[in-house]
Structure 1
Amino acid sequence: MKKVITFGTFDIFHVGHVNILERAKALGDYLVVGISSDILNFSKKGRMPVYSIQERMRIISALKFVDEVFIEESLELKEQYIKDFDADILVMGDDWEGKFDQYKSLCEVAYLTRTPSISTTEIIEVVRQPSDKD
């Protein structure tokens, strides 16, 4: 069985998330998804996620192409997570191209093209902006 592992915050779930997770699963037989803890997300993005870790884990685990989810507590633990889940392939978005190549001795590393013109950060910014109609 070929195991794939990927990581993300998966806040404000959108079609870009569906696309990358579906494509990650297509690379193997079993997809494991590490979901950034609230504190890890704050350290990366300077804000707390809109949805709690419990809500984000429930959303991602409900997807038919996701086999297992866990909480990613630290970026420094990626190597340990790869080993713990016996992953054959690490999948990340192409915005991370080259940043995880150090794990190529443990598993294959694949960078998948992100869905153009959509990101959680952009969605949050649009929602926060006052409407011109007000």
Structure 2
Amino acid sequence: MILGKYQFCDLKRRIKLDQEQRVKEIMARDSDYGAFMEKFVLQPSSSSQELPLSGLTFAVKDIFDVDGYITGFGNPEWARTHSAATSTAVAVLAVLKAGATCVGTAVMDEMAYREVNTLSHTKIANDNEDVSTTADPIP
């Protein structure tokens, strides 16, 4: 199937609208299964539809700096005692430059250690559990 100029322009417009709608839906969700530390939107550096990741969304693990946001390494005490980043990690910038939209920071194991449910501030789903339930933290 060959698209005419009008059809191609209309398709590009619909892809952009679909992307904007997806971002709005992600930001409006109440139930994200505890996946986000913080929700925000970082738009790609270019809105060109020809970019390889155009139309995709991603979340950044809480170990990567994002300008203006606190990198907490999965630890609320660390986040509480440190200031916001003054620059964005090169890896995050590369994904943005490729056309994807960042929708926030994602939960990670504290200080990148694999100790799920051993700390009182964690409340995330176990890998072997139904995602509609969350593990109870140790009191």
TM-score category (smaller protein): under 0.3
Structure richer in helix, relative to its length:
1
Structure richer in strand, relative to its length:
1
- Larger C-alpha radius of gyration, 1 or 2? 2
Using structure 2 for the length normalisation, give the TM-score: 0.23
